[in-house]
């Protein structure tokens, strides 16, 4: 990978600082090291991990975030340098936008990005079946068109605030999702009795892998939201709730499909074994496989603004575009729609 991520997922591991490097030890034995100068982030994925104060301070000084992710994929904590939260101009604009048409435009763009990327992935999955299974190819192409019909409905959504149009946006998103997961069932090697998409509390390996992958993506998006000077809690599509990073959840939407869905579906179709324990959580080896695959995907280039750019850099640029749009320095925010 171009960027280096330190994943610490061993119970009893200790992360300390040693000569400008993070050193992971377990039982007195060094099991991993990573130089701070090349480190993009630290992902801690087990409750039995401890970090030294020196390691935390060094990460803060180097601008390296530390994310604590539960085995379910829920991000429970992120450590940043305190200076990253010191911006105010963008946050003021973000709060004001929640009460005017900027918020409406931004919320619609986030949903458009998600729905358009769902259609793009279905078309991508269809094109490789044109000769092998023409009937399936036609069905997938039809479903992709149906998803884009939902996207077209967004043009007619209008209101004074994001809160006023939230119900309409969620309706469009929900109907597009029904068609998307219907298509997924036909081309991804899920069990025949797979009940479909389940978020919190998933008890099957497919949904558990997706949820864990979304957690890894969430950590990356939270970082760029804060770096762009945005407030992670002031959402537009996702309603405000104490402790809920609603704006991060808003921004995650347009990147779920290219960063996580495509990655997990490819793992499943290649026969990657995803195992769960008795608590319906992915076992350590499966969590590590999903995390590494998603992080590698984030480093792969996509076409963006007439050039090739790593997906993680695209996410960072999109967060900056949100900020400049909210401040009135950009006339519109255009979501990232992948071209496969």
pLDDT digits (tens, 9 = 90+) for 1-56: 445 889 998 889 999 999 889 999 998 899 989 999 888 889 998 778 999 999 99
The verdict on 304 and 184 lying in the same domain is yes
Answer yes or no: is pLDDT of 303 > 90.
Answer: yes
Residue 336 lies in a domain: no
Measured CA to CA, the distance from residue 78 to residue 76 in angstroms comes to 7
CATH number where 312 lies: 1.20.120.920
Answer yes or no: is pLDDT of 194 > 50.
Answer: yes
The verdict on 102 and 212 lying in the same domain is yes
The verdict on 122 and 31 lying in the same domain is no
The verdict on 136 and 18 lying in the same domain is no
The verdict on 132 and 208 lying in the same domain is yes
99: helix, coil or strand? coil
Which pLDDT score, from 0 to 100, does residue 85 have?
A: 58
Domain containing residue 179: 89-326
Domain count, the chain: 2
The verdict on 93 and 57 lying in the same domain is no
Measured CA to CA, the distance from residue 276 to residue 285 in angstroms comes to 10
Model confidence pLDDT, tens digit, residues 313-338: 999 999 999 999 999 999 999 999 99
Residue 137 lies in a domain: yes
The verdict on 312 and 178 lying in the same domain is yes
Answer yes or no: is pLDDT of 193 > 90.
Answer: no
The verdict on 94 and 32 lying in the same domain is no
Strand partners, 302: 309
Residue-wise over 105-134: b if at least 16 C-beta within 10 A, else e?
bbbbbbbbbbbbbbbbbbbbbbeebeeeee
Which pLDDT score, from 0 to 100, does residue 259 have?
A: 97
For the chain, the residue count is 340
Residue 334 lies in a domain: no
The verdict on 119 and 253 lying in the same domain is yes
Measured CA to CA, the distance from residue 79 to residue 174 in angstroms comes to 33
The verdict on 42 and 141 lying in the same domain is no
Residue 298 lies in a domain: yes
**Where on the phi/psi map is residue 242: left (φ > 0), alpha (ψ -120 to 50), or beta?**
beta
Which pLDDT score, from 0 to 100, does residue 47 have?
A: 77
Residue 114 lies in a domain: yes
Q: Rounded to two decimals, what is the model's pTM?
A: 0.88
Residue 261 lies in a domain: yes
The verdict on 57 and 96 lying in the same domain is no
Answer yes or no: is pLDDT of 212 > 90.
Answer: yes
Residue 78 lies in a domain: no
The verdict on 215 and 134 lying in the same domain is yes
**Backbone φ and ψ of 336, nearest 5°:** -80, 120
The three-state (H, E, C) secondary structure of 128-159, written as one string: CCCCCCHHHHHHHHHHHHHHHHHHHHHHHCCC
- How much of the chain, in percent, has pLDDT values that exceed 90? 73
Residue 300 lies in a domain: yes
CATH number where 54 lies: 3.100.10.20
């Amino acid at each position: 990978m171009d960027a280096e991520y330190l994943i610490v997922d061993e119970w009893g591991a200790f992360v300390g600082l040693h000569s400008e490097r993070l050193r992971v030890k377990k039982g007195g034995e060094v099991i991993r090291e990573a130089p701070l100068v090349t480190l993009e982030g630290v992902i801690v994925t087990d409750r039995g991990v401890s970090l030294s104060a020196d390691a935390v301070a060094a990460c803060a000084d180097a601008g390296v975030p530390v994310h604590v992710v539960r085995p379910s994929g829920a991000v429970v904590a992120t450590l940043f340098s305190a200076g990253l939260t010191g911006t105010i101009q963008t946050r003021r604009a973000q709060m004001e936008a929640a009460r005017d048409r900027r918020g409406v435009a931004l919320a619609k763009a986030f949903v458009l990005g998600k729905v358009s990327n769902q259609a793009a992935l279905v078309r991508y999955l269809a094109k490789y079946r044109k000769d092998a299974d023409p009937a399936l190819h036609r069905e997938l192409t039809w479903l992709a068109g149906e998803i884009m019909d939902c996207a077209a409905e967004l043009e007619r959504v209008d209101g004074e605030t994001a809160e006023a149009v939230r119900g309409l946006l969620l309706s469009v998103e929900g109907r597009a999702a029904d068609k998307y997961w219907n298509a997924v069932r036909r081309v991804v090697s899920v069990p025949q009795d797979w009940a479909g998409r389940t978020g919190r509390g998933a008890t099957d390996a497919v949904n558990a892998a997706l949820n864990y992958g979304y957690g890894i993506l969430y950590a990356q998006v939270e970082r760029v939201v804060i770096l762009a000077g945005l407030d992670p809690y002031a959402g537009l599509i996702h309603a405000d709730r104490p402790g809920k990073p609603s704006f991060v959840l808003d921004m995650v939407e347009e990147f779920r499909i290219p960063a996580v869905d495509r990655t997990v579906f490819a793992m499943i179709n290649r026969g990657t074994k995803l195992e769960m324990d008795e608590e319906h959580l992915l076992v350590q080896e499966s969590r590590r496989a999903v995390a590494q695959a998603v992080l590698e995907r984030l480093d792969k280039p996509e076409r963006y603004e007439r050039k090739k750019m790593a997906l993680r850099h695209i996410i960072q640029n999109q967060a900056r575009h949100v900020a400049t749009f909210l401040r009135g320095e950009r006339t519109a925010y255009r979501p990232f729609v992948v071209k496969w």
